[in-house]
Amino acid sequence: MESMLLSVVKERRDQRKQTAFVDALLQSSLTERQVMEDCMVFTLAGCVITANLCIWALHFLSTSKEVQEKLHQELQDVLGSDPVSLDKIPQLRYCQQVLNETVRTAKLTPIAARLQEVEGKVDQHVIPKETLVIYALGVVLQDADTWSAPYRFDPDRFEEDSARKSFCLLGFSGNQTCPELRFAYTVATVLLSTLVRQLKLHQLKNQVAEVRSELVSTPKDETWITVNRRKSWTQSAEPSN
């Protein structure tokens, strides 16, 4: 994959007919290898995280009518019938809470790793400089000492500053927001703002969604929901898959 992406980087330097993501990177002062690594991050982490964030968000919304209706009300209040835009996304605070709680409940990124830049110490254990440290985020995200009712899907918990602060300090990418997670949140917001304003989402009876934890947590089996149109968009309310 490195070889393929490097060849694309070299090829794009001479082709400016269309603007693609890689072109924006090439306009910076990054080296070819850095451009390749950023492309890999968004190709692998960005797209996989985005897809599974959307899957889990729709699943959890289908299990909670109250959360879904609260989200629908915010979308109506902020957007009305207009399409979502970048300037309106920051105003969708409850939608952000829904996505935060989706990441937490599904343990979307169960592990994270970063290189220790300075020598550190945990109790009596010394962590040498340039040691790769792996964080068990999946454990921390459902730690009962940090989160009340940790296994319950409850976006309202992120109304509290303490919950938002605990979530921000988990170390997805140090003290900066993970770029691929920001990308995933933006795409998921567009998806939810489109679907939830038009459709009601319902859980499939007797379906239990189990988590398979890998680099990104995914459902072990296909996750299904049923939908029907909201009457504000059409009078038809026939269920469909």
Written as one letter, the residue type at 122 is V
pLDDT at residue 69 is higher than 90: yes
CATH architecture of the domain covering 2-229? Orthogonal Bundle (1.10)
Binding positions: 178
Compare 138 and 42 and report the one with higher pLDDT.
Answer: 138
> Is there a contact between 103 and 178 (Cβ–Cβ < 8 Å)?
no
* Angle, CA 96 vertex, CA 56 and CA 89 arms, to 5°: 120
47-63 vs 65-79: helix crossing angle, rounded to 10? 110
Condensed to tens digits (0 to 9), the pLDDT of residues 136-175 reads: 888 989 999 989 999 999 999 999 887 877 787 555 444 4
Domain boundaries, the chain: 2-229
Binding residues for heme: 178
pTM value > 0.95? no
